Amino acid sequence: MASRKLIKLLVFELLEFTAFCVPTLVIMEQFAVAYSTTRHPPDKTRYWLIVSCSIAYVASVSLLIWVPVKVLLYKKRHLYQKIKGWRPVLMMCIVLTTLPSFSFSIAVTEVQKNINGSTDVLPDMLPDLPVSLVLTCLIVVDIIEKLRIYPLRGRQKSNEDRHIHTTNLQQIRTVTCEVKQNEENPTRPQPANRTHLSRPLGGATGNSSPELEGPQDPTFEWGILRTLSQQDVRAEIFLGSFPLWADTIEMVRVAGHPRVYKSGWVYVVYIFSYISLLRMIFTPRNPLLNSFAILLQDLPFIFVRLSLIIGLGTITPVLGLFKNVLVTLSYVYFNFLTRFRMFSTFERSF
């Protein structure tokens, strides 16, 4: 058992350390290539100087920050338990890896424009590897941090499975109690059916309305449908991680459009894309996560995407703008406006 835990720990730490180091090395190497090829003939001295500086940077932050923090969190478990609401590993990756990676991605185009004095020498499209590599490494670290608390062997029920199992047990207990009461008091008259009423949240109006229920979720006890309906929390971690990053991925990819990276819009796109990544520092169940997701991602993306569409055309999907607007308005309405009297009246069902 101890050997399995040790192997799991080593694999996870190796993957996280690789995701921490590789993006900076790759992007700074591309910057060295772009800077050296602007000279005729290409200057290999400048190339190796930049590459050596990148290696020195990665080695220094790894030895001075990454390794000490990892060792401290592993040795002093009580310190790790006192950290509430945020994740140190994601913070180190976003600050020490993503920030220099985005900076040198912009520097690749700026160096070429400043040396040659024109944007005509730039390629029609920027390579997708740097952006995809940076975000993929962040997603890998995010998945590992969520998966670390679960074993890799055996089956783990998801929250929905636990909820369904608990609900079924409660229903069985309720029916059993009713049967026992009926057996003890066979002549006792049965009460009339009552309509379940829901209490108004916040107590703004005092009016009650019948509880509305949507379609019931089916449960399968046998056969192939039971096999297909099984849900494991570890698989849900992988399934839910990529959609969580989709909006930022789409925004960063917009920076590869020639009308964006050949102009000053590339600064705006990268800056607000980086700001949107700061929300991932918070733990997945932090009560402040939704608020910071609106403030750091959806609200700024509304203005960025609207400005890009007005200034450069539909180079960013209109669906993304609609998503940001809808998410922001719904969050503000249901969390704040419904507290006022004019928005707190409950609907009645007829």
**Residue 164 amino acid letter:** I
The closest alpha carbon to 154, from 233, 75, 77, 88, belongs to 233
Burial class from Cβ neighbours inside 10 Å (0-12, 13-18, 19+) for residue 64 reads exposed
The structural domain count of the chain equals 1
Q: Is residue 216 part of a domain?
A: no
- How confident is the model at residue 219, as a pLDDT? 81
- How confident is the model at residue 182, as a pLDDT? 57
**In whole angstroms, how far apart are CA 116 and each of 39, 40, 120, 277?**
10, 12, 9, 33
pTM for the whole structure: 0.79
Q: Tokens 């949107």 map to which residue?
A: 276
- Alpha-helix residue ranges (DSSP H) falling in the chain: 2-37, 44-61, 67-75, 77-82, 88-93, 99-116, 129-147, 159-184, 223-228, 233-254, 258-261, 265-277, 289-293, 299-312, 318-335
Q: How many residues does the chain have?
A: 350
- How confident is the model at residue 203, as a pLDDT? 44
Q: Is residue 278 part of a domain?
A: yes
For residues 320 and 345, what is the distance between their CA atoms, to the nearest angstrom?
32
- How confident is the model at residue 122, as a pLDDT? 58
Compute mean pLDDT per 10 residues along the chain, 350 residues long, and list them: 82 95 93 80 84 96 95 84 90 95 87 64 64 92 92 68 47 52 51 42 47 73 79 87 90 87 88 95 92 95 95 89 95 90 63
Q: Is residue 254 part of a domain?
A: yes
Reduced to 3 states (helix: H, G, I; strand: E, B; else coil), residue 197 is strand
- Give the domain extent around 123: 4-151+232-347
Q: Is residue 158 part of a domain?
A: no
Q: Is residue 170 part of a domain?
A: no
Q: Is residue 63 part of a domain?
A: yes
Quickly count: other Cβ atoms within 10 Å of residue 48's Cβ. Answer: 12
Q: Is residue 328 within 8 Å of residue 291, measured between CB atoms?
A: no
Q: Is residue 181 part of a domain?
A: no
Joined tokens for residue 78: 């009580």
